[in-house]
Structure 1
Amino acid sequence: MRDTKESRLLLVLLVVVALALITVDIRGGENSPLDRPRRVAQSAFGPVENAVSGVVDPVGNAVDAVRDSGRDSSTIKRLERENTQLKQQLGSKDTTRARAQELDKLLRVAGAGQYTVKGAQVIAIGAAQGFSWTITIDSGSNDGLKRDMTVINGDGLVGRVTTVGRSTSTVLLANDPDFTVGTRLEGSQEIGFATGQGNRPLRDQLLNGKADVHKGDRVVSFGSEQDKPFVPGVPVGKVVSVEPSGGNLTKTVEVQPYVGFTKLDVVGVVVVGPRTDPRDSVLPPKPTASPTAKTTPKNTASPGDSASPGGTPTSGGTPTSGTTDNALPPGTKPTSTSTNGD
């Protein structure tokens, strides 16, 4: 429509009429003269409005859903990240606690044997130089490690260092077939040489064919000259079987290692050996057998026991209840009396 003087007057007139109708409607309240026309208009245009709303609302809801889905998706991802972080924290706490326990056991062994150790963590397992049973630790020459140093943990002998790098080292485990360590039996101090057999117990050959050895006897390392490759007194394992000597000059026994070679984590490399041989002092105290309770047999009536007036047998002829003046001495049989004058 063209912007003319007549159109402007018409617009002003419509605005004035609208204001007048609004004023009349407000002042009329519930009795407003416009209430009836409003209801007629609502009846006429209500179905059209509902139809349009039925078409438009799903589209609007879909748009809202798409917008909210992005927000919900980001919330879910955030919660998943937080859940993962919590699991990692819990896992790290458990790992830290386990490592702290392993380190505590290691320090106790080092203290008992007067070993100066350098703590290290196992970072890899496998054949580093063709060896069957090896581990790699995160310490090397920068930490003062050298070849042929003894490696222990809180349970006992782990192995010896074979290769040293600047920040890592390779350790040959005690159960490797190429591993041999001098041993000493607890108590008798009999000397032998133990060799690894993989997953099987160590094979320990005692130099004395008549050595008095039994299952359960414990074995420690004998030690080497200048403590290389082995320091003395490190727990190795316990005897699980003894082979008949058959008159041989040596006696062979199998020794189950204390160390679990498939679950190593924290280890210690002995950088300075003990001043004196600790012998058996590094071994934990042997468990003492608990005393068995003695049972006292119950008193039973013997053929020489007498009976009390109430019929209760008493040991040694002594009545346990009531009194009687004609109690018989022990071993005396009562005589029967006749009541018919015989």
Structure 2
Amino acid sequence: MATQIFRRPRITLVILILVSISLISVSYKKTPPFITGARGYVRDIVTPIRQGATALVTPIYNTIIGAFDYSSLKATNQKLVNEIAVIRNQRVVDAGAARSLAQLSKQLKIPYVGNIPSTPAQVISVTPTNLQMSVEIDKGTSDGVAIGNPVVSNLGLVGRIIQVSPSSSTVLLLNDPNFSVGVRFGSASQLGLVVGQGGGQKLSVQLVDPGTVLPVGTFMYTSGLSGEIFPAGIPVGSVYKAFTPPGGLQEHVELTPLASLSNLNYVSVLHWLPGVKLP
């Protein structure tokens, strides 16, 4: 019966542990020689078992500690990612503010405006429809804006004011089919009439004599003739295409607007009306 018990590894291990505890207890008393020998024998048996247990437990311990370390590292990394995102967003905001400031500064230094008083304004909404190409700006009658005032960018003519309120205004854009403006071009200051053709279309220049030489890139400016609703010298556009149609009574001329009508941010309202003398 005893032989069968000792053949069972678990029971053998338990008995060895109990024996070792007994031998340890005895070690605090007088140790007979046979006990010393038995204790050494038990040590030889138990030591490999203890080492095996340590080898088994250590990886588990390391795994548990590593899991906590990984969670901590992951949290730290996420914090760094969030901080980097904040810094990047701030850089984007700063860059946007710098661009806006640069655009606004250009509106304050438009060379072709001369001594005409002007008010910078920001485009707050775009309302292009099949019936009207227009934008809303954040300046109105409280800023001296009036119906008929020309609206320009640092590049050229944008449109004119067609509706006002105390704090905002509607600008009819240069490319609207109901928009027209007299222009001059060439060294001989020839005249023409620019008419809008709708969104995404080139401007049409009418009343140009057939056979008129108009190289691509030729600039056209507001004529400023008596009774004209725009002052003279505002850049309008550059020639995109010009040719004489067979049997045509006038030159076919297409003009590219100089102002970026589809990407307006800041503009200037010119406090100018036909027949009104400047202060």
Aligned to 2:219: 218
Aligned to 1:145: 145
SS in 1 for 2:271: strand
Residues 239 and 254, structure 1, Cα contact 8 Å, conserved in 2: yes
1:61 CA drift (Å): 3.5
Q: Measure the CA separation in 2 of the matches of 1:43 and 1:63.
A: 31
Q: Measure the CA separation in 2 of the matches of 1:136 and 1:42.
A: 94
- Per-residue CA deviation, residues 144-190 of structure 1 (Å, 9 max, x unaligned), is 43433222111101122334455444333212223222222254333
Distance 1:62 1:148, change over 3 A: farther
1:38 CA drift (Å): 10
Aligned to 2:13: none
Pairing of 1:1-342 with structure 2 (within 5 A): 43-110=44-111, 112-127=113-128, 131-197=131-197, 198-206=199-207, 209=209, 213-215=213-215, 216-223=217-224, 230-244=230-244, 248=249, 251-272=251-272
SS in 2 for 1:178: coil
- Per-residue CA deviation, residues 274-311 of structure 1 (Å, 9 max, x unaligned), is 9989xxxxxxxxxxxxxxxxxxxxxxxxxxxxxxxxxx
Aligned to 1:310: none
1:236 CA drift (Å): 0.3
Residues 106 and 155, structure 1, Cα contact 8 Å, conserved in 2: no
Distance 1:53 1:114, change over 3 A: farther
Q: Measure the CA separation in 2 of the matches of 1:58 and 1:105.
A: 69
SS in 2 for 1:177: coil
Give 5+ residue unaligned stretches, structure 1. 1-13, 19-35, 278-342
- Higher-Rg structure is 1
Identity rate of aligned residues, in percent? 28
How many matched pairs? 241
Q: Measure the CA separation in 1 of the matches of 2:195 and 2:135.
A: 18
CA RMSD of aligned residues (A): 4.0
Give 5+ residue unaligned stretches, structure 2. 1-24, 30-36
Q: TM-score, normalised by structure 1?
A: 0.56
Residues 186 and 220, structure 1, Cα contact 8 Å, conserved in 2: no
1:142 CA drift (Å): 4.6
Q: Measure the CA separation in 1 of the matches of 2:99 and 2:269.
A: 19
Amino acid at match of 2:145: L
Q: Measure the CA separation in 1 of the matches of 2:142 and 2:39.
A: 94
